[in-house]
Every structure is written in C-alpha cells, then in structure tokens.
C-alpha cells in the first residue's frame, strides 16, 4: 500500500555517493525486514497438483505462460532501487514482486473479472480491487504494515546519521 515519503530517492542517491558504508548498512537493514515477507509469500504459492491441469507445465516462447511451483516460488523477490516515476508521478522506493509469468497470473487472476479459470485457482484474493492478490498481497496484509514502518524508520535513521555527519 502506497505511502508518501518525500526525498527517499534523493537520500538513497546521496548515501550511495557520499556514504557507501551507511548505504550498505541501510540496505542490509531493509532487506532484513523484507525477507520474512518473501518467505511468507513463497509459502502461499500452491503446489502444481492444486492448479488447473492446463495451467501447469513448462512455458514455451510465444505460448500462454504455464505455472511451475518451484519456478514461481523462486521468482518472488524484492527490489531496493527506486523506479522511474509512473503517470501520476509516484516512485517505488522498495517493492516485492514475482518475476515469473505463471506466478504473476496466479497472483492477479480475478482482480477485475471472474471466469472458470479463476474459480479453479486455489486460494482467494486477499485485499480488494487493485490492491489484491493471492500470495504477495496476502503476505503484506498479514504483516500489518510492520515491514513498511520498519523500512521508513531505517531510512529516517540513515538520513539523521547522514545529516549529522555534515553530508546533508
């Protein structure tokens, strides 16, 4: 869920340029808060046996993506580099994602409409509307925002240390 944190991208760039050791410590601290979310999300990914039969297998180029539990679990990760601004001007400073097509389809299928395929998927959508999903969003919602608060505090602490050193 989005939170406005002004100056986070600029802080990250300044840390990288002027205080690489503080940047590394801040990154390590943020990773420590993201890893439990990632582990929990991987645990919510279903096995191949519980998926609709036509959706399981190995993906071929140019074909509808298939789901493979091992690959989908391995595709869940985090990103600490800020993104480019979207149409509304928002930037993601930290994010969790699934890089596999089958995993993304499992996560998002049914957010806008329902079908026989969606009704055969295991696990219900957690959240509502655009902010819903089956594994990543469920993991985030069960965390109750603790990781988000901890990451914001880590960035604020890094900013205070950085400014105290006379770098700001």
- Whether residue 112 lies inside any domain: the answer is yes
- Whether residue 50 lies inside any domain: the answer is yes
**What phi and psi values does residue 65 have, to the nearest 5 degrees?**
-60, 145
- Whether residue 147 lies inside any domain: the answer is yes
- Whether residue 3 lies inside any domain: the answer is no
Compute the average pLDDT of residues 94-117. 92
Q: What range defines the domain where residue 51 resides?
A: 8-164
Give residues with Cβ within 8 angstroms of 124, minimum separation 6: 134
The number of helix segments (H) and strand segments (E) in the chain equals 7, 4
pLDDT of residue 85: 87
- Whether residue 42 lies inside any domain: the answer is yes
- Whether residue 75 lies inside any domain: the answer is yes
Q: How many domains does the chain divide into?
A: 1
Judge contact between 9 and 93, C-beta under 8 A: yes
pLDDT at 146 over 60: yes
- Whether residue 1 lies inside any domain: the answer is no
Half-sphere exposure of 37 (CA within 13 A, CB side): 29
pLDDT at 122 over 90: yes
Q: How confident is the model at residue 1 (pLDDT cuts 50, 70, 90)?
A: low
């Amino acid at each position: 869920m989005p939170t406005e944190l002004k100056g986070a991208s600029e802080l990250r760039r300044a840390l990288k340029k002027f205080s690489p050791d503080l940047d590394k410590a801040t990154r390590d601290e943020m990773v420590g808060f993201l890893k439990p979310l990632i582990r929990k999300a991987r645990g919510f990914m279903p096995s191949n046996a519980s998926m609709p039969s036509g959706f399981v297998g190995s993906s071929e180029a140019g074909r509808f993506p298939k789901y493979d539990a091992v690959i989908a679990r391995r595709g869940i990760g985090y990103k600490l580099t800020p993104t480019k601004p979207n149409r509304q001007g928002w930037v993601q400073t930290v994010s969790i994602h699934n890089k596999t097509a089958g995993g993304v389809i499992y996560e998002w299928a049914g957010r806008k409409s329902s079908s026989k395929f969606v009704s055969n998927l295991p696990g219900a959508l957690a959240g509502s509307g655009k902010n819903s999903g089956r594994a990543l969003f469920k993991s985030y919602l069960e965390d109750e925002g603790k990781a988000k608060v901890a990451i914001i505090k880590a960035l604020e602490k890094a900013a205070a240390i950085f400014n105290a050193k006379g770098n700001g």
